[in-house]
Structure 1
Amino acid sequence: MTHRRLSIFLGLISLAISLATWSLDLSHLVINCIYCRNERTIIGLLGILLLLPIYPYITSYLSLAFGFYGASVCAQHIMLIMKNSHFTSPQLPLAIAALLIIIGQLFFIFNYLYGRSILKAINSNL
């Protein structure tokens, strides 16, 4: 499978996850959580950027901006759950999963889609 086909496949999966969770939220089957809404929106936006990598510099800038915003929201969500000692809350594994999905999307965008290795850039500066 080529990188472009894999990008389309992962983008469609990301959009499906985002649309499914938004439909659950809008039908009031889950509680209204502003952190969850931000996380699912960022997953959907990164999915759209995976589907449409037309302009590499604009796409990479937008994916960095959206991705790191989403990762910081996920981290704040996890810390809020831990601060309130809600370790048995079903939101904790979902927030961790959202964080892993967002970081995985960013890793794929930069390592496979554009050939810019984040790890090589970090190691060259050390």
Structure 2
Amino acid sequence: MANTEAALKEATTSIEGAVGAALVDYTSGMALGTIGGGKDLDLTVAAAGNTDVVRAKVRTMEMLGMKDEIEDILITLGGQYHLIRLLKGRGNNGLFLYVALDKQRANLAMARHQLKKIENALEV
């Protein structure tokens, strides 16, 4: 089982093209941990902004009466992918892993696979 710091480090080292990662509580919008980022990617701001994205999608699914669960949300920018993976089980409701990827270096399918693996090992 990995703690937050170890899980985020694994995300940035094992996912090709990772620019930064965060573990976020979408009930409060707070980042519980961050790694990477930089002057062009403030992960604290990204955590708060992506919380709004997650809340909006959850609300929309409720209004539509959908009983399905969100696995992940992908936002594609000109030069980056932003991948949001909602955590399931073991008291992780209300949390998501967020990874920003360099579009030129990332393999999106492998990034999703690695993020799921990291989720399964994460102990919050």
Superposed pair shares fold, TM > 0.5: no
In terms of fraction of residues, the more strand-rich structure is: 2
Structure having the higher helix fraction is 1
TM range (shorter): 0.3 to 0.5
Q: TM-score, normalised by structure 1?
A: 0.35
Structure 2-normalised TM-score? 0.36
